[in-house]
Structures are given as C-alpha cells and as structure tokens.
C-alpha cells in the first residue's frame, strides 16, 4: 500500500532543502567598517590640510588612503571577501587595467616637455588679461604666432617671463615707455648680459636669436606684446 506524499514532519529535513544563501554581515562588522571609513576620511582631510610632501608625495598619500577606503567598501559592503574568488579576481583585473591605462597616460603627459619644450608651454593656463580679450585682430594673431615660435621659450607663453631666461613683459616699464619703433630697434640689436638695464643677467641675442626674422615680423611681435598689456598699465617712475 502506497502512502500519499506529505510534507516533512517537524524536525525532519531533506538534503535538497539545504542551500547556501548570500552572506549576511553582522551589525558589528558593518559598524566597525563604517567607523574605519570615517576615520580614514578624517585622516584624508587632515593630511590634505596639514602635510606637504610635494606634488608626487601628496598624490601617493591621497591615492593610498583612497585605495584603503575603496578596499574596505569592496570587501565588506560588496561582499567580495565572502564571495567566489573568481569575482575578486575579475574585479581586481579591471582595476589593474584602469591603473595601467591611467599610468601610461600620466607618463606621456609628464614627458611631453622633454619632446617639445616650446609646445609643452601651451599647457600653461591662459592669463586673465588674455582671456578677457581673447579676440585678436589679424596683425595681433600674426604677431602671436611669431612670438610663440621665437620668444615664448624665454619670456613664457603668457609673456610673464621665465626666471633666469627672460624678463616679464606684462606691465614692464621699458615696454610701456618705449615706442613701437624703439622696441623694434631694441629687438633687432638685442642686449648684452652686462647691460645696466638687464634684470636677469642673461643676454638677449639680436632678433631674438633668429636671424631670419625680418623687421616687419619683429614689428608684428611688438603689436602682439602691446595687446597683452593691461589697459590701465603705466610705466614705473
């Protein structure tokens, strides 16, 4: 005689009824991780305001603290610590690939000035006096191109000078006092290192070191330099 199937009696169980469910973290674990994240956040804020390890050191410290916090979140809040090892491997592989791409990009950016030092200066933020008057007329644009090719290496892209190479041309008394013709004549002749008016002690070669610059092109550079001067600039007495 067959008996009808019936549900298990209390205390009875079948093997197929047991299955492993998702891991549930204890309240104590979640609170501990939360407090740790708050502590590392406080350390991040403190080190950002109170420490100075240089550009590279600050970046390494900030990324290290961020990595620790991200690791805690992934291990406990995303349950990677309790999940299949394959998922952790997949997640870490994606992070490694991202780090590789960003690292190669940073290496490229940091070495661009070694390849083309003149062009690398174009990464300098545009100064306010240029940004406020971004539209140049045709003569000023021609002068700008000539300035970038012949003068920016010493006087910088924003014409504010490079220490030990070229003087600041923005608001410079000599530039403001001189006429266009006088400036053209000055650039054509250049200036020796021992000139009493030299502020850097570095010689300025005739025609900016480019003997192929014509008088007309030098005059265009002067027009551009004039356009960079603040409207209310006055020569120092």
Residue 137: C-alpha distances to residues 122, 144, 190, 223, 232 (Å): 20, 10, 27, 10, 20
- Rounded distance between C-alpha atoms, residue 152 and residue 123, angstroms: 13
The mean pLDDT of 209-222, rounded to a whole number, is 91
| 110 or 157, which is more confident | 157
Write out pLDDT tens, residues 56-92: 788 888 888 888 888 888 888 888 888 888 888 888 8
The model's pLDDT over 117-162, given as tens digits with 9 standing for 90+, comes to 555 555 555 554 454 445 577 778 888 889 988 998 889 888 888 8
Q: Are 5 and 14 in contact (CB under 8 A)?
A: no
Q: Would you say residue 107 has pLDDT above 80? A: no
Residue 218 is predicted with a pLDDT of: 92
Q: Where are the domains of the chain?
A: 24-114, 121-228
* Residue 173: pLDDT over 80: yes
Return the pLDDT at 132: 43
Topology of the domain covering 121-228: Cytochrome Bc1 Complex; Chain D, domain 2 (1.10.760)
Which pTM does this prediction carry?
0.43
Token digits for 51? 């420490």
Residue 220's pLDDT band (boundaries 50, 70, 90)?
very high
CA nearest to 76, candidates 88, 90, 64: 88
Top-confidence residue, 31 or 236:
31
């Amino acid at each position: 005689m067959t008996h009808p199937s019936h549900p298990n009696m209390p205390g009875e169980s079948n093997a197929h009824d047991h299955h492993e469910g998702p891991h549930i973290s204890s309240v104590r674990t979640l609170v501990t991780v939360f407090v740790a994240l708050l502590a590392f956040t406080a350390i991040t804020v403190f080190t950002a305001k109170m420490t100075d390890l240089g550009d590279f050191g600050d970046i390494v410290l900030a990324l290290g603290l961020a990595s620790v916090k991200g690791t805690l979140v992934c291990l406990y809040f995303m349950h990677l610590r309790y999940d299949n090892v394959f998922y952790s491997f997949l997640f870490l592989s994606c992070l490694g690939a991202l780090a590789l791409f960003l690292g190669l990009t940073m290496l490229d950016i940091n070495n661009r000035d070694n390849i083309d030092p003149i062009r690398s200066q174009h990464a300098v933020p545009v100064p306010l006096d240029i940004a406020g008057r971004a539209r140049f007329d045709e003569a000023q644009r021609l002068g700008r191109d000539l300035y970038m090719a012949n003068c920016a290496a010493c006087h910088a892209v924003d014409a504010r000078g490079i220490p030990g190479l070229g003087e600041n041309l923005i608001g410079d008394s000599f530039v403001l006092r001189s006429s266009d013709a006088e400036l053209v004549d000055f650039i054509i002749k250049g200036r020796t290192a021992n000139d009493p008016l030299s502020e850097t002690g570095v010689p300025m070669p005739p025609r900016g070191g480019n003997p192929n610059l014509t008088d007309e092109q030098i005059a265009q550079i002067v027009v551009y330099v004039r356009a960079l001067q603040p409207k209310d600039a006055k020569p120092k007495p």
